[in-house]
Amino acid sequence: ELYGLESRSTVNRLLRKYLEEVILTPTELLHNNRELKRLLDLDIAQSAVDRVATLQAKQNSSDSRERRDVLYGFVEQAWLRLRQLGDRPDVPRVREIGFAAAVERIDATAAPEERDFLALVALSNELVNLRNWSAKMQTLIDQMDKAGASRAVGLIDRVIADICGARGIIPELVGTTTANLGTFILTLVDFSNGRLPGAGRMDDDPALALNRRLAASQIADTRSVLVDYAVRQMRSAQPLSRNEPGAEYDVFQRLANRLITPAEMFGGSATAEALSQRALRFLPQGGAPGRREAVRTVTGLLQTPIQKTRFLLALANTDLGREQMDVITTQMNDFLGRANSMEDLVTPRTAPKARMQEVTTLYTLLRQTEGVAEETRFRLADHMDGLLTQFLIDNQIIEKLDRTEDSLRLRAVRLVQFCASGVLTDGQAFELARERVLTHLRQPRFEETFIADLADPAAKEKALRDFHALLKTSNFFRER
């Protein structure tokens, strides 16, 4: 608990003044004997624990003294563990062999439960000697480049995330010169998703190195910190379009449609709540009526029913959503329940596969996301399944995959790949495609006919082997 991202972020906020004075990350603090002892000798450590205990007790309606004792126990455990492991003479020197090699050496000799800790001790021993954020960041990026795709990258990610939590680091990385918050948040969203524009940046810009790792989904902690920062900026009182006050609503609409796409709800429930709170600023009424209208305002900004429903599902798991559950349920019924075809739900002018994927993704979300009543979610999911099934029939999608002029082998492989592609709702639509495959499999001498278009015996054997492997990996015969 003490070493996880949430705890480290809390340490970053509570000890911000101290950490910025000594230029240390929470990871370094918790993995370097000298630095942790120095902190524990100061009164600020006790004050920080007391503040956290009071806050957590208030949130959980518990006794702050009991919570304080628990937190002190965590601190004592951290200090004890560091005293036991932090000064081990066999901890490799990162400067001499590199971090990836240090991790490999530790993995070869240390107990499994000690490996991450000792690796971060080795990394922290190198970083504590660097007393500016830029030097630490560049060292981490250099070590990450040398690490390739090894597990060392995940450990480096923890420290980069800590640095991004320091004051001013994220704006410096994003590098936008605009005074408009809306543009900054949009750029930060691109950065979080690994799509930061490279124009105007030097090749050695650390943001570009991080952008590549973000695009490859290799630095999850860093992305979480970036997303959290974007959400906090949306919650702020600062206008989105300071330079053009008249464009505030248009910028808000553009931002909402970038944060909530048919494929993703950027930042999840926290973003949904932040957008609703910002929507209140455009409304004359306050209180519960204002909050109700704010929910309607956000859905009114979004382009498709799928985006609107994503927003409502995310909002349902917040205090605001629970307060406005009747609005959420009514709107979901309006947006999805009244749809007469799949085309009423999806982004227009996109490829059939993309439209099917949008519907299937939301179908799965409806089945799995709690917050809204199960009866409502399942009923709407079944309706979407029916619309997708009708789309398959009306557009003869399965017939196009099962062309009679092609060999049975090509037809069967295409159909099974289609079933396994993730574009079918797990109901009538999947069963429609699955039944066509089963019709082929049930025919007499299926395997003989399957390989009839191949002459080479080795090719025949491989084709059958690959097809059976495809059936297995696609979970085609799983219980439904």
pLDDT at residue 320 tops 90: yes
Tokens 């079933």 belong to 419
- Supply the pLDDT for residue 281: 94
Closest listed residue to residue 315, CA positions, set 438, 307, 454:
307
27 or 74, higher pLDDT: 27
**Predicted pLDDT at 199:** 81
Tell me how far apart the alpha carbons of residues 178 and 243 are, in angstroms, rounded to a whole number. Answer: 9
Q: pLDDT per residue over 166-177, tens digit each?
A: 999 999 999 865
The pLDDT tens digits for 92-106 are: 999 999 999 999 999
Q: What is the reported pLDDT for 58?
A: 75
The reported pLDDT for the residue numbered 198 is 85
| Mean of the per-residue pLDDT values of the chain | 93
Residue 177: the pLDDT is 57
Span 351-369, average pLDDT: 95
Q: What's the whole-number mean pLDDT along residues 202-226?
A: 96
Does the predicted TM-score (pTM) go above 0.75?
A: yes
For residue 45, the 8-state DSSP code is H
Q: Which residue is associated with the tokens 């062309």?
A: 403
More confident residue, 472 or 255: 255
In the predicted model, what is the mean pLDDT of residues 193-221?
A: 93
| 165 touches 12 (CB < 8 A) | yes
- SS3 label, residue 94: helix
pLDDT value, residue 480: 58
Please tell me the predicted confidence (pLDDT) of residue 479. Answer: 62
Residue 143: which residues within 8 A CB-CB, separation 6 or more?
Answer: 94, 98, 99, 100, 123, 152, 156
Number of CB atoms found within 10 A of residue 52's CB: 19
* Model pLDDT, residue 445: 94
pLDDT in tens, 374-406: 999 999 999 999 999 999 999 999 999 999 999
Alpha carbon distance 378, 388 (integer Å): 15
